[in-house]
Chain A
Amino acid sequence: MATDQLTRTRRGGAATGALAAPRRWRLDDRYLPVLGTLVVLVAMLAIGGSRYENFLTGRVLANLLINNSFLVVLAVGMTFVILTGGIDLSVGAVVALSSIVAAWMLTNGWDAVVAIPAAILTGTLIGLAVGLMVHVFEIQPFIATLAAMFLARGLCYLVAPESIPITDPTIVALARTRWGSDDGLVLTPSGLIALAVVAVAFVLLHYTRFGRTVYAIGGGEQSARLMGLPVARTKVLVYVISGTCAGLGGLLFAIFSRSGYALTGVGMELDAIAAVVIGGTLLTGGSGFVLGSVLGVLVLGLIQTAITFEGTLSSWWTKIVIGGLLLVFVVLQRLLALRRT
């Protein structure tokens, strides 16, 4: 019960503080988790910069975005789902399916103009199926997306059990294009697409009626329904968005690896969920920010970069560090939630 007492005195203190200086600028509690993520990111950059040479160069930072562009897109989609209080376990498998669909169509003589939309649409369709399962048949998101995950992985092997290389000129051009100086800040088409997705999601979530409905459902589905908000449509739509993002992520991964393979993206859904959680979105829904999720992805990417720079550390330390960081952030969120209530 120590925490209860702690929160009580803290809250009392805050209340009297507010009475004494009512107009004093105070940071909104909602921003605290995101700020925490930002602090971790800056601290990691600072420590990395002081420990290793060439850590704080434009190339490393640009690569951080480029190498994680598909994860950024996935995390953005996942943010929508988690904000409504749901979860999407299918994204990793959808990434694999979408990359295979793209690779298969391209090697079978389809034009990139057809193959690229088809790859993205694959994700959209699976998202729609999940949304309908969740909404119409009232299957829990966890199980519905688990089924979608198995379905997508099975379809992968049905389309192509082996890795398919992509030699299509459009994809190769997309993979090779680099804007900016070669040793400084570079931007690739994939990075640009990821940034565009983030921008669209930001506007959609914070400046539209749809976005407010997403938050309202996460805050309390019953209340949202009683307020006359289009709960059903929005719930289906968030899974469609997540599926589409996963489809796009698969396309970006196909561009990144210039191949389609059934085993890509194993465990990627967990990376996306971890990024969203580290980015300060509450898993119970209703509170969180798209930009937080992007910061979360950057933190995950930076852990990988730092371990590569360290050289002597083995790769499994990545998992341990991510797990530890996840633990810290989840406990922090919980303490903040206790403070608020």
Chain B
Amino acid sequence: MSAVQSVVRHRLFWPVVALVVLVVASTLKSPSFLEIAVRDGHLFGGPVDILRRSSVLLLVALGMTLVIATRGIDLSVGAVMAIAGAVALTQIAASPNPGSLATVAAAIGTALVIALVIGLFNGFLVAVVGIQPIIATLVLMTAGRGIAMLITGGNITTVTSQPYKTLASGYWLSLPVAAIIAGVVFAGTALVTRRTALGVLIESVGINPSASRLAGVRARTIIWTVYVVCALFACLAGFIRSADTMAADANNIGLFIELDAILAVVIGGTSLAGGKFSLTGTLVGTLVITTLTLSITILGIPANAVSLFKAIVVIAVCLLQSPVVQHRMRARRRRTAPVPVEVPA
């Protein structure tokens, strides 16, 4: 097999092609798209903007990748984001000194503990009670926003707190803090799943839960863990999103992000049927979706049409990855390739 063929056959070939096409199209339309400038010691420009905007989706999609790898799905991430924002911001708003670092740390801690409880609840329903993941998490997807509304009392709580705001719009080492958080979480997840046996264990649970249990894998604990991790990552994403507007809008924070996250995971080549997962694939998928959203504004297409283009990308990527098309393409390649001479034995 030639090098070209192995590149084309690679799982991430088509998603990366999609990403490149988007970037090229945007650069043609707006030549300054790829320029990076340094202003006040901070990096500015299209690529940095994409990184900053990708952070929320990347955090959610990372957790989703692990959940999907165990043959699950977590629909409650958007609601968890809303709850995280609501808890953190109401606590900061209620404190006498909203600008202090201690207040913000305490608020973040409380929200993380609540996310932990949510993750435990989802994991309990899936791993112990044995309810289908899509329904088990649908419960909180439905009720979660109601709970977030309950926390904010139905208001959009707005707060001014410099340390909290830094999470979304701050810069550190001339890079956006949000992107650094997402990057650190990505690296940590990659390290833990790929440099220890955990990744393989998660995949084995996704491929066959009962067989891996018989082989001595604690399937129940692993399933429980991925839902907790997913809720915690979604909580972090909720902090960034709510710090962006400094308002706990329970109805809109993270609305439909679960679908975007699933999309990012699927574009990245992880199968919804569980088993093998690719964190790099999820990163590429996230970048494709964020760049798509950004490119559409640059190309002058109405922002509302984003979902149409998302649909086209998903359908195209899924069709190209589908077994039927793969088979056809392979068959055609075999026909056009020079037929190897068979040596009679």
Contacts and interface: CB of A to CB of B under 8 A. Distances in A.
A144 B317 CA distance: 11
Given A146-B262, A330-B136, A154 B154 contact: no
A323 B79 CA distance: 12
Interface in A285-341: 314, 316-320, 322-324, 326-327, 330-331, 334, 338
Contact of B322 (A137, A274, A277, A316): A137
Interface stretch (B103-111, B137-145, B161-169): B137-145
Contacts of A151: 307-308, 311-312, 315
A314 B149 contact: yes
Among A277, A283, A319, A324: residue with most chain B CB under 10 A: A319
Contacts of B131: 330-331, 334
Interface stretch (A44-52, A155-163, A166-174, A193-201): A155-163
A270 interface: yes
A323 B323 contact: no
A320 B147 CA distance: 7
A283 B324 contact: no
B180 interface: no
B324 A334 contact: no
B263 interface: yes
B272 A150 contact: no
B21 interface: no
Given A138-B324, A146-B314, A331 B143 contact: no
Interface residues of B, number: 47
Nearest to A161: B304
B142 A87 contact: no
A277 B132 CA distance: 12
A262 interface: yes
B319 A154 contact: no
B319 A326 contact: no
Given A326-B139, A330-B135, A136 B145 contact: no
Nearest to B143: A323
Given A140-B273, A143-B266, A323-B139, A150 B146 contact: no
Given A138-B323, A138-B324, A330-B135, A319 B142 contact: yes
B215 interface: no
Main secondary structure of the interface of B (DSSP, over half): helix
Contact of B134 (A283, A318, A331): A283
B132 A283 contact: yes
B220 to A, nearest CB: 12
Given A320-B150, A323-B146, A139 B311 contact: no
Among A154, A324, A338: residue with most chain B CB under 10 A: A154
B338 interface: no
A153 B143 CA distance: 24
A319 B146 contact: yes
Contacts of A110: none
A18 interface: no
Contacts of B41: none
Contacts of B125: 327, 330-331
Given A270-B142, A330-B136, A137 B324 contact: yes
Nearest to A146: B259
A187 interface: no
Given A154-B306, A283-B132, A139 B318 contact: yes
B129 interface: yes
Interface residues of A, number: 44
A316 B142 contact: no
A150 B273 CA distance: 22
Given A143-B314, A331-B131, A158 B305 contact: yes
Contact of A326 (B142, B272, B308): B142
B300 interface: no
Nearest to B318: A139
Nearest to A154: B308
Contacts of B136: 330
A122 to B, nearest CB: 15
Interface string A6-20: 000000000000000
A316 B149 contact: yes
Given A137-B319, A154-B305, A320-B147, A147 B142 contact: no
Interface in B95-141: 125, 129-132, 134-136, 138-141
Nearest to A331: B129
Interface in A44-64: none
Interface in A260-296: 262, 270, 273-274, 277, 283-284
B11 interface: no
Interface string A23-52: 000000000000000000000000000000
B344 interface: no
Given A137-B325, A334-B130, A319 B145 contact: yes
B143 A137 contact: no
B266 A274 contact: no
Contact of A317 (B134, B140, B146): B146
A327 B129 CA distance: 11
A322 B306 CA distance: 31
Nearest to B147: A320
Contacts of A146: 259, 262-263, 314
A112 interface: no
17 contacts: A137-B322, A139-B319, A139-B322, A142-B272, A146-B259, A151-B312, A154-B304, A154-B308, A154-B310, A155-B308, A157-B302, A157-B308, A273-B138, A320-B143, A323-B142, A330-B131, A334-B130
